[in-house]
Amino acid sequence: MSDEQNSVKESSSRDIPIDVSRWGFPGSMNVSFKDDKDDLFDDSKVIINIGPTHPAMHGAFRCMAKLNGEVIESSYSEFGYTHRAKEKLGENRTYHQFIVYTDRLNYCSALINNVAYALSVERLMGIEVPTRATWIRMMAAEIARVTDHLICVGINAVDLGAFSFFLYGYQQRERAYTLIEKLCGARLTTSYTRIGGLMYDAPEGWEQEVKTWALKTREVIDEMDSLLTNNRIWHKRTKEVAIFNKEQCMKYSFTGPNARAAGIDLDLRRDQPVLFYDRVDFDVPTAQIGDVFDRYAVRIEEMRQSLSILIQCAEKIKKGPIWADDKRTRIPDKEVVHNTMEGMIHHFKFFMTGFDVPEGEAYTPFEAANGELGFYIVSRGGPKAHRMRIRGPSFWHYQGLDPMIKGAYVGDLVGALGSINVIAGELDR
Protein backbone atom coordinates (compact mmCIF):
# COMPACT_ATOMS: atom_id res chain seq x y z
CA MET A 1 0.00 0.00 0.00
CA SER A 2 1.36 3.43 -0.96
CA ASP A 3 2.10 6.22 1.50
CA GLU A 4 -0.77 8.25 -0.02
CA GLN A 5 -3.27 5.41 0.58
CA ASN A 6 -2.05 5.03 4.17
CA SER A 7 -2.56 8.75 4.68
CA VAL A 8 -6.15 8.55 3.43
CA LYS A 9 -6.88 5.55 5.67
CA GLU A 10 -5.55 7.34 8.72
CA SER A 11 -7.48 10.52 7.94
CA SER A 12 -10.75 8.57 7.80
CA SER A 13 -10.18 7.01 11.22
CA ARG A 14 -12.68 7.72 14.03
CA ASP A 15 -9.77 8.86 16.20
CA ILE A 16 -9.70 12.31 14.55
CA PRO A 17 -9.77 15.08 17.17
CA ILE A 18 -12.64 17.54 16.69
CA ASP A 19 -13.54 20.89 18.20
CA VAL A 20 -16.99 20.59 19.81
CA SER A 21 -17.10 24.00 21.46
CA ARG A 22 -19.45 25.22 18.72
CA TRP A 23 -22.00 22.65 19.92
CA GLY A 24 -22.47 24.40 23.22
CA PHE A 25 -20.00 22.53 25.41
CA PRO A 26 -18.18 24.71 27.95
CA GLY A 27 -14.72 25.89 26.92
CA SER A 28 -12.71 24.73 23.93
CA MET A 29 -11.78 21.07 24.09
CA ASN A 30 -10.75 18.35 21.73
CA VAL A 31 -12.29 14.90 22.09
CA SER A 32 -12.23 11.73 20.06
CA PHE A 33 -15.24 9.89 18.69
CA LYS A 34 -14.02 7.00 20.85
CA ASP A 35 -15.30 9.10 23.78
CA ASP A 36 -18.82 9.24 22.27
CA LYS A 37 -21.07 8.59 25.28
CA ASP A 38 -24.65 9.55 26.12
CA ASP A 39 -23.56 11.65 29.08
CA LEU A 40 -21.30 13.69 26.80
CA PHE A 41 -23.24 14.06 23.56
CA ASP A 42 -26.75 13.03 24.75
CA ASP A 43 -27.23 11.63 21.25
CA SER A 44 -29.73 8.93 22.20
CA LYS A 45 -32.25 11.72 22.73
CA VAL A 46 -33.78 13.75 19.94
CA ILE A 47 -36.46 16.41 19.66
CA ILE A 48 -38.89 15.91 16.77
CA ASN A 49 -41.79 17.95 15.47
CA ILE A 50 -44.93 16.02 14.63
CA GLY A 51 -47.13 18.36 12.63
CA PRO A 52 -48.54 20.86 11.97
CA THR A 53 -49.07 19.26 8.55
CA HIS A 54 -48.49 15.61 9.42
CA PRO A 55 -51.43 13.48 8.18
CA ALA A 56 -51.72 11.67 11.52
CA MET A 57 -52.30 14.92 13.45
CA HIS A 58 -56.01 15.19 12.48
CA GLY A 59 -55.69 18.90 11.84
CA ALA A 60 -53.23 21.75 11.83
CA PHE A 61 -51.58 21.46 15.23
CA ARG A 62 -48.13 20.45 16.38
CA CYS A 63 -46.63 18.19 19.00
CA MET A 64 -42.95 18.70 19.79
CA ALA A 65 -41.69 15.54 21.49
CA LYS A 66 -38.39 14.75 23.21
CA LEU A 67 -37.59 11.12 22.49
CA ASN A 68 -35.19 8.77 24.21
CA GLY A 69 -35.00 6.13 21.55
CA GLU A 70 -38.70 5.54 20.86
CA VAL A 71 -39.92 6.61 24.30
CA ILE A 72 -41.47 10.05 24.76
CA GLU A 73 -39.77 11.64 27.76
CA SER A 74 -41.65 14.90 27.46
CA SER A 75 -43.68 16.80 24.91
CA TYR A 76 -45.22 20.15 24.18
CA SER A 77 -48.40 20.46 22.13
CA GLU A 78 -49.55 23.70 20.57
CA PHE A 79 -52.33 24.89 18.33
CA GLY A 80 -53.36 28.17 16.71
CA TYR A 81 -52.54 27.39 13.09
CA THR A 82 -56.16 27.72 11.94
CA HIS A 83 -57.33 30.51 14.23
CA ARG A 84 -60.34 32.26 12.69
CA ALA A 85 -61.55 34.38 15.61
CA LYS A 86 -64.99 32.80 15.82
CA GLU A 87 -65.74 34.25 19.24
CA LYS A 88 -64.90 37.77 18.09
CA LEU A 89 -66.93 37.25 14.94
CA GLY A 90 -69.83 36.32 17.20
CA GLU A 91 -69.63 39.85 18.58
CA ASN A 92 -69.51 41.44 15.12
CA ARG A 93 -72.21 39.46 13.31
CA THR A 94 -75.92 39.37 13.99
CA TYR A 95 -77.30 36.36 15.82
CA HIS A 96 -78.65 35.01 12.55
CA GLN A 97 -75.45 35.60 10.57
CA PHE A 98 -73.36 33.71 13.12
CA ILE A 99 -75.12 30.39 12.48
CA VAL A 100 -72.82 29.59 9.54
CA TYR A 101 -69.75 29.99 11.76
CA THR A 102 -70.94 27.29 14.16
CA ASP A 103 -70.55 24.70 11.37
CA ARG A 104 -66.83 25.32 11.33
CA LEU A 105 -66.24 24.27 14.94
CA ASN A 106 -66.48 20.48 14.97
CA TYR A 107 -67.20 20.03 11.29
CA CYS A 108 -67.63 16.27 11.77
CA SER A 109 -70.91 16.96 13.60
CA ALA A 110 -71.94 20.43 12.46
CA LEU A 111 -75.63 19.88 13.21
CA ILE A 112 -74.88 19.58 16.92
CA ASN A 113 -73.12 22.96 16.84
CA ASN A 114 -76.14 24.50 15.09
CA VAL A 115 -78.54 23.14 17.70
CA ALA A 116 -76.42 24.13 20.71
CA TYR A 117 -76.04 27.71 19.47
CA ALA A 118 -79.73 28.11 18.70
CA LEU A 119 -80.65 26.84 22.18
CA SER A 120 -78.46 29.48 23.85
CA VAL A 121 -79.94 32.38 21.88
CA GLU A 122 -83.48 31.06 22.41
CA ARG A 123 -82.88 30.82 26.15
CA LEU A 124 -81.70 34.42 26.12
CA MET A 125 -84.86 35.49 24.27
CA GLY A 126 -87.28 33.22 26.15
CA ILE A 127 -88.40 31.44 22.97
CA GLU A 128 -90.04 28.01 23.07
CA VAL A 129 -89.60 26.00 19.88
CA PRO A 130 -92.54 23.90 18.57
CA THR A 131 -92.64 20.17 19.28
CA ARG A 132 -91.91 18.99 15.73
CA ALA A 133 -88.90 21.29 15.39
CA THR A 134 -87.52 19.97 18.69
CA TRP A 135 -87.84 16.33 17.56
CA ILE A 136 -86.13 17.10 14.24
CA ARG A 137 -83.30 18.91 16.01
CA MET A 138 -82.84 15.94 18.30
CA MET A 139 -82.76 13.50 15.37
CA ALA A 140 -80.30 15.70 13.51
CA ALA A 141 -78.02 15.85 16.55
CA GLU A 142 -78.02 12.06 16.99
CA ILE A 143 -77.29 11.44 13.30
CA ALA A 144 -74.36 13.83 13.62
CA ARG A 145 -73.16 12.01 16.76
CA VAL A 146 -73.10 8.68 14.93
CA THR A 147 -71.19 10.11 11.95
CA ASP A 148 -68.70 11.78 14.29
CA HIS A 149 -68.05 8.52 16.17
CA LEU A 150 -67.74 6.57 12.92
CA ILE A 151 -65.04 8.98 11.82
CA CYS A 152 -63.27 8.85 15.19
CA VAL A 153 -63.08 5.07 15.60
CA GLY A 154 -62.51 4.53 11.87
CA ILE A 155 -59.63 6.96 11.44
CA ASN A 156 -58.10 5.88 14.74
CA ALA A 157 -58.05 2.31 13.43
CA VAL A 158 -56.52 3.47 10.13
CA ASP A 159 -53.74 5.29 12.01
CA LEU A 160 -52.90 2.08 13.87
CA GLY A 161 -52.96 -0.10 10.77
CA ALA A 162 -56.53 -1.47 10.67
CA PHE A 163 -57.53 0.14 7.38
CA SER A 164 -60.37 -2.19 6.37
CA PHE A 165 -62.27 -1.44 9.60
CA PHE A 166 -62.84 2.13 8.42
CA LEU A 167 -64.36 0.97 5.13
CA TYR A 168 -67.08 -1.01 6.90
CA GLY A 169 -68.68 2.16 8.27
CA TYR A 170 -67.94 4.36 5.27
CA GLN A 171 -71.11 3.56 3.34
CA GLN A 172 -73.40 4.15 6.32
CA ARG A 173 -71.73 7.48 7.00
CA GLU A 174 -72.33 8.57 3.42
CA ARG A 175 -75.97 7.53 3.69
CA ALA A 176 -76.23 9.62 6.85
CA TYR A 177 -74.92 12.62 4.92
CA THR A 178 -77.59 11.96 2.30
CA LEU A 179 -80.25 12.12 5.02
CA ILE A 180 -78.76 15.42 6.19
CA GLU A 181 -78.70 16.68 2.62
CA LYS A 182 -82.43 16.02 2.33
CA LEU A 183 -82.96 18.27 5.36
CA CYS A 184 -80.94 21.30 4.31
CA GLY A 185 -79.23 20.72 0.95
CA ALA A 186 -75.75 20.42 2.50
CA ARG A 187 -73.81 17.39 3.66
CA LEU A 188 -70.99 18.67 5.90
CA THR A 189 -71.48 22.34 6.85
CA THR A 190 -75.21 22.47 7.36
CA SER A 191 -76.37 25.78 8.93
CA TYR A 192 -79.71 24.04 9.43
CA THR A 193 -81.17 25.61 12.55
CA ARG A 194 -82.70 29.05 12.83
CA ILE A 195 -83.33 31.06 15.96
CA GLY A 196 -86.82 29.90 16.84
CA GLY A 197 -87.06 27.19 14.20
CA LEU A 198 -85.43 25.38 11.30
CA MET A 199 -84.36 26.18 7.76
CA TYR A 200 -86.81 23.66 6.30
CA ASP A 201 -89.20 21.04 7.53
CA ALA A 202 -88.17 17.41 7.05
CA PRO A 203 -89.41 16.07 3.70
CA GLU A 204 -92.23 13.56 3.52
CA GLY A 205 -91.13 10.12 4.67
CA TRP A 206 -87.79 11.34 6.06
CA GLU A 207 -88.44 9.95 9.53
CA GLN A 208 -89.00 6.46 8.14
CA GLU A 209 -85.80 6.73 6.10
CA VAL A 210 -83.90 7.60 9.28
CA LYS A 211 -85.38 4.57 11.04
CA THR A 212 -84.39 2.29 8.15
CA TRP A 213 -80.88 3.73 8.16
CA ALA A 214 -80.57 3.30 11.92
CA LEU A 215 -81.57 -0.38 11.76
CA LYS A 216 -79.05 -1.05 9.00
CA THR A 217 -76.30 0.93 10.75
CA ARG A 218 -76.84 -1.10 13.91
CA GLU A 219 -76.02 -4.26 11.94
CA VAL A 220 -72.91 -2.63 10.46
CA ILE A 221 -71.67 -1.55 13.90
CA ASP A 222 -72.15 -5.08 15.20
CA GLU A 223 -70.03 -6.30 12.29
CA MET A 224 -67.35 -3.68 12.96
CA ASP A 225 -67.39 -4.63 16.63
CA SER A 226 -66.83 -8.30 15.87
CA LEU A 227 -64.05 -7.44 13.42
CA LEU A 228 -61.85 -5.37 15.74
CA THR A 229 -62.86 -5.40 19.40
CA ASN A 230 -61.42 -8.86 20.15
CA ASN A 231 -58.51 -8.59 17.73
CA ARG A 232 -55.23 -9.41 19.51
CA ILE A 233 -53.19 -6.90 17.51
CA TRP A 234 -55.73 -4.18 18.31
CA HIS A 235 -55.49 -5.07 22.00
CA LYS A 236 -51.70 -4.75 21.95
CA ARG A 237 -51.90 -1.32 20.31
CA THR A 238 -54.69 0.08 22.50
CA LYS A 239 -54.98 -1.65 25.89
CA GLU A 240 -53.13 0.14 28.73
CA VAL A 241 -51.89 2.69 26.19
CA ALA A 242 -52.25 6.45 26.87
CA ILE A 243 -54.12 5.90 30.15
CA PHE A 244 -55.90 8.95 31.54
CA ASN A 245 -57.58 7.98 34.79
CA LYS A 246 -60.60 9.46 36.52
CA GLU A 247 -58.64 11.90 38.67
CA GLN A 248 -56.70 13.21 35.68
CA CYS A 249 -59.89 13.62 33.69
CA MET A 250 -61.40 15.68 36.50
CA LYS A 251 -58.25 17.80 36.72
CA TYR A 252 -58.23 18.54 32.99
CA SER A 253 -62.02 19.07 32.68
CA PHE A 254 -62.59 16.09 30.39
CA THR A 255 -66.18 15.47 29.33
CA GLY A 256 -68.00 13.21 26.94
CA PRO A 257 -66.76 9.76 25.83
CA ASN A 258 -63.19 10.50 26.95
CA ALA A 259 -64.36 11.10 30.52
CA ARG A 260 -66.82 8.21 30.53
CA ALA A 261 -64.02 5.89 29.37
CA ALA A 262 -62.28 6.65 32.69
CA GLY A 263 -65.34 5.92 34.83
CA ILE A 264 -66.98 9.39 35.06
CA ASP A 265 -70.68 8.59 34.73
CA LEU A 266 -71.88 11.91 33.31
CA ASP A 267 -73.97 12.53 30.22
CA LEU A 268 -75.75 15.86 29.84
CA ARG A 269 -78.51 14.27 27.77
CA ARG A 270 -79.51 12.31 30.88
CA ASP A 271 -78.32 14.59 33.71
CA GLN A 272 -79.25 18.05 32.30
CA PRO A 273 -81.66 17.19 29.49
CA VAL A 274 -82.60 19.67 26.79
CA LEU A 275 -84.80 19.05 23.73
CA PHE A 276 -86.76 15.82 24.46
CA TYR A 277 -84.00 13.59 25.79
CA ASP A 278 -86.06 13.02 28.92
CA ARG A 279 -88.74 11.36 26.79
CA VAL A 280 -86.55 8.61 25.33
CA ASP A 281 -84.80 5.62 26.89
CA PHE A 282 -81.08 5.10 26.50
CA ASP A 283 -78.09 3.91 28.51
CA VAL A 284 -74.84 5.75 29.23
CA PRO A 285 -71.88 3.41 28.62
CA THR A 286 -68.80 3.81 30.81
CA ALA A 287 -65.45 2.07 31.29
CA GLN A 288 -62.84 2.18 34.07
CA ILE A 289 -59.24 2.32 32.85
CA GLY A 290 -59.38 5.26 30.43
CA ASP A 291 -56.96 3.93 27.80
CA VAL A 292 -57.20 4.02 24.01
CA PHE A 293 -59.23 0.81 23.97
CA ASP A 294 -61.80 2.09 26.47
CA ARG A 295 -62.30 5.30 24.52
CA TYR A 296 -62.90 3.20 21.41
CA ALA A 297 -65.29 0.81 23.18
CA VAL A 298 -67.36 3.61 24.73
CA ARG A 299 -67.88 5.24 21.34
CA ILE A 300 -68.90 1.92 19.76
CA GLU A 301 -71.60 1.46 22.39
CA GLU A 302 -72.67 5.11 22.22
CA MET A 303 -73.43 4.70 18.53
CA ARG A 304 -75.80 1.86 19.38
CA GLN A 305 -77.54 4.07 21.96
CA SER A 306 -77.83 6.97 19.50
CA LEU A 307 -79.39 4.66 16.92
CA SER A 308 -81.89 3.52 19.56
CA ILE A 309 -82.74 7.17 20.28
CA LEU A 310 -83.24 7.83 16.56
CA ILE A 311 -85.66 4.91 16.23
CA GLN A 312 -87.68 6.20 19.20
CA CYS A 313 -87.72 9.72 17.78
CA ALA A 314 -88.94 8.47 14.40
CA GLU A 315 -91.82 6.71 16.13
CA LYS A 316 -92.78 9.66 18.34
CA ILE A 317 -92.52 12.62 15.93
CA LYS A 318 -95.77 14.12 14.63
CA LYS A 319 -96.76 16.68 12.05
CA GLY A 320 -96.82 20.33 13.09
CA PRO A 321 -95.20 23.76 12.72
CA ILE A 322 -91.43 24.22 12.77
CA TRP A 323 -91.36 27.91 13.75
CA ALA A 324 -91.95 29.48 17.14
CA ASP A 325 -94.80 31.96 17.34
CA ASP A 326 -92.43 34.91 17.72
CA LYS A 327 -92.42 37.72 15.17
CA ARG A 328 -88.92 38.83 16.17
CA THR A 329 -87.17 35.80 14.69
CA ARG A 330 -89.62 34.48 12.08
CA ILE A 331 -88.19 34.83 8.57
CA PRO A 332 -90.99 35.95 6.19
CA ASP A 333 -92.19 33.39 3.66
CA LYS A 334 -90.92 33.75 0.11
CA GLU A 335 -94.43 34.26 -1.24
CA VAL A 336 -94.92 37.24 1.06
CA VAL A 337 -91.49 38.66 0.20
CA HIS A 338 -92.08 38.38 -3.54
CA ASN A 339 -95.59 39.84 -3.56
CA THR A 340 -95.77 42.52 -0.85
CA MET A 341 -93.73 45.64 -0.11
CA GLU A 342 -93.98 45.04 3.63
CA GLY A 343 -92.68 41.51 3.25
CA MET A 344 -89.72 42.67 1.17
CA ILE A 345 -88.83 45.37 3.72
CA HIS A 346 -89.11 42.87 6.59
CA HIS A 347 -86.90 40.40 4.71
CA PHE A 348 -84.27 43.07 3.97
CA LYS A 349 -84.12 44.35 7.54
CA PHE A 350 -83.95 40.83 8.99
CA PHE A 351 -80.91 39.79 6.98
CA MET A 352 -79.10 43.13 6.97
CA THR A 353 -79.66 44.46 10.49
CA GLY A 354 -80.94 41.41 12.39
CA PHE A 355 -83.41 41.29 15.27
CA ASP A 356 -83.06 42.79 18.74
CA VAL A 357 -82.30 40.56 21.70
CA PRO A 358 -83.02 41.76 25.27
CA GLU A 359 -80.25 42.38 27.77
CA GLY A 360 -79.02 39.40 29.73
CA GLU A 361 -76.75 36.41 29.54
CA ALA A 362 -77.27 32.74 28.77
CA TYR A 363 -75.34 29.50 28.60
CA THR A 364 -76.80 26.18 27.49
CA PRO A 365 -74.57 23.10 27.94
CA PHE A 366 -75.14 20.44 25.30
CA GLU A 367 -73.77 16.90 25.08
CA ALA A 368 -71.87 17.07 21.80
CA ALA A 369 -70.14 14.09 20.20
CA ASN A 370 -66.88 14.79 22.08
CA GLY A 371 -68.23 16.28 25.29
CA GLU A 372 -69.79 19.42 26.69
CA LEU A 373 -70.35 22.13 24.09
CA GLY A 374 -71.80 25.47 25.11
CA PHE A 375 -72.20 29.03 23.89
CA TYR A 376 -71.99 31.69 26.58
CA ILE A 377 -73.66 34.86 25.30
CA VAL A 378 -73.84 38.26 26.98
CA SER A 379 -76.30 40.74 25.48
CA ARG A 380 -76.64 44.47 26.08
CA GLY A 381 -79.58 44.64 23.74
CA GLY A 382 -79.47 44.96 19.98
CA PRO A 383 -78.90 42.47 17.16
CA LYS A 384 -75.35 41.40 18.11
CA ALA A 385 -73.82 39.75 21.16
CA HIS A 386 -71.80 42.00 23.45
CA ARG A 387 -69.59 39.05 24.42
CA MET A 388 -69.47 35.45 23.23
CA ARG A 389 -67.40 32.56 24.50
CA ILE A 390 -67.54 29.00 23.19
CA ARG A 391 -66.89 26.00 25.43
CA GLY A 392 -65.53 23.44 22.95
CA PRO A 393 -64.57 20.03 24.41
CA SER A 394 -61.51 19.57 22.17
CA PHE A 395 -59.81 22.56 23.81
CA TRP A 396 -59.70 20.73 27.14
CA HIS A 397 -58.90 17.32 25.74
CA TYR A 398 -55.90 18.57 23.80
CA GLN A 399 -54.34 19.88 27.02
CA GLY A 400 -54.36 16.34 28.37
CA LEU A 401 -52.37 14.93 25.45
CA ASP A 402 -48.92 15.71 26.91
CA PRO A 403 -49.37 13.98 30.29
CA MET A 404 -51.24 11.19 28.51
CA ILE A 405 -48.32 10.26 26.23
CA LYS A 406 -45.46 10.81 28.67
CA GLY A 407 -43.48 7.57 28.89
CA ALA A 408 -45.29 6.04 25.90
CA TYR A 409 -43.74 5.05 22.60
CA VAL A 410 -43.83 7.56 19.77
CA GLY A 411 -46.04 5.17 17.80
CA ASP A 412 -48.60 5.35 20.60
CA LEU A 413 -48.88 9.13 20.27
CA VAL A 414 -50.86 8.67 17.08
CA GLY A 415 -53.26 6.26 18.77
CA ALA A 416 -53.68 8.55 21.78
CA LEU A 417 -54.47 11.61 19.67
CA GLY A 418 -56.95 9.73 17.51
CA SER A 419 -58.70 8.28 20.55
CA ILE A 420 -59.47 11.67 22.13
CA ASN A 421 -60.71 12.92 18.74
CA VAL A 422 -59.40 16.47 18.84
CA ILE A 423 -60.85 18.65 16.05
CA ALA A 424 -58.69 21.65 15.13
CA GLY A 425 -61.66 23.84 14.21
CA GLU A 426 -62.91 23.53 17.78
CA LEU A 427 -59.52 24.46 19.26
CA ASP A 428 -58.84 27.69 17.37
CA ARG A 429 -61.81 29.84 18.27
Q: pLDDT value at position 24?
A: 46
Could you state, in order of their start, the residue ranges of all structural domains in the chain? 86-427
User: Does residue 312 sit in helix, strand or coil?
Assistant: helix
Q: Is the pLDDT of residue 42 over 80?
A: no
d(CA 359, CA 411): 52
Hey, CA dihedral for 227, 228, 234, 235, is it positive or negative? negative
The model's pTM = 0.88
d(CA 110, CA 185): 14
Tell me the average pLDDT of the chain: 89
Q: pLDDT value at position 280?
A: 97
Q: What tens digit of pLDDT does each residue of 115-170 get? A: 999 999 999 999 999 999 999 999 999 999 999 999 999 999 999 999 999 999 99
What's the CATH superfamily of 86-427?
Cytochrome-c3 Hydrogenase, chain B (1.10.645.10)
Q: pLDDT value at position 88?
A: 94
User: Does residue 277 sit in helix, strand or coil?
Assistant: helix
368, 112 contact by CB (below 8 A): yes
